[in-house]
Amino acid sequence: MKRRVSFVAATLLLALSATGGAAELPDWLTGEWLQQRDDRWTEEVWTLPRGGTMIGMGRTGRGESLRSWEVMRIVRAADGSLAFHGAPEGGPATIFPLVSQGVRDIIFANPDHDYPQRIRYWREGRLLMAETARMDGSQAQNWTYAPAGE
């Protein structure tokens, strides 16, 4: 038993040293995502992680009318940390540093921003879930995205 625990501990240490303990870009976010409710729609598209960056685009509309859009990035800094950069309607980007990350869950937060202050993405099977809220969880807005084209 002791030998098995030592082997597991050594394997975990080796894995951590190989990644530098840095947060991983959420490759499970990659793809084209759509939420459709009657004639209202919301889309997000995320690129594969490359060069320490994932680039995203989001837009919402009703029928054929575009209501809003945003350019997003998830970026790895030189120290290995991750941050979400959101630029609605082409304005200046607001930065939300990584707060926590699981295998298929990631949370970014910026308590100094008016709204949102917290951004969370997670997967439930084939669906992509998203939530924006204040730091205390109030004023939450939620999205359930399916892969586009299904």
Q: What is the pLDDT along the chain (150 residues), one digit of tens a residue?
A: 444 434 333 333 333 333 345 789 999 999 999 999 999 999 999 999 999 999 999 999 999 999 999 999 999 999 999 999 999 998 999 999 999 999 999 999 999 999 999 999 999 999 999 999 999 999 999 999 999 987
Q: Is 9 domain-assigned?
A: no
Q: What is the pLDDT of residue 122?
A: 98
pTM: 0.84
Residue 11: DSSP 8-state: H
Q: Is 111 domain-assigned?
A: yes
Q: Is 17 domain-assigned?
A: no
Q: What is the DSSP string of 44-111?
A: EEEPPPBTTEEEEEEEEEETTEEEEEEEEEEEE-TTS-EEEEEEETT-PPEEEEEEEEETTEEEEE-T
Q: What is the CATH number of the domain that holds 46?
A: 2.40.128.20
Q: Is 81 domain-assigned?
A: yes
Whose structure tokens read 């997967």? 123
Q: Is 3 domain-assigned?
A: no
> In 10 A of CB 102, how many CB atoms?
10
List the domain range (segments joined by +) for residue 132.
Answer: 24-147
Q: What is the pLDDT of residue 56?
A: 98
> In this structure, are residues 129 and 143 in contact, taking their beta carbons and an 8 Å threshold?
yes
Give how many domains the chain has, as a whole number: 1
Q: Is 113 domain-assigned?
A: yes
